[in-house]
């Protein structure tokens, strides 16, 4: 059970990092200027 919990935590941290990094990469490639939606948050 302990190993499964560790796997879940690493999986969630990977997904979290991916979710944070991906919009930044997409922003660099597709948006030369920052969208207003990102500025207001």
Q: Are 11 and 4 in contact (CB under 8 A)?
A: no
* pLDDT interval class at 22 (50, 70, 90): confident
Does residue 32 surpass a pLDDT of 70?
Answer: no
Entry pTM? 0.45
Domain boundaries of the chain, sorted by first residue: 2-38
Task: Name the E strands within 1-41.
Answer: none
Q: How far is it, in rounded angstroms, from Cα 39 to Cα 15?
A: 24
pLDDT of residue 11: 93
pLDDT of residue 19: 85
């Amino acid at each position: 059970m302990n190993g499964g919990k560790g796997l879940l935590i690493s999986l969630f941290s990977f997904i979290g990092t991916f979710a944070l990094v991906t919009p930044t990469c997409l922003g660099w490639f597709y948006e030369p200027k920052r969208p207003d939606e990102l500025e207001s948050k």
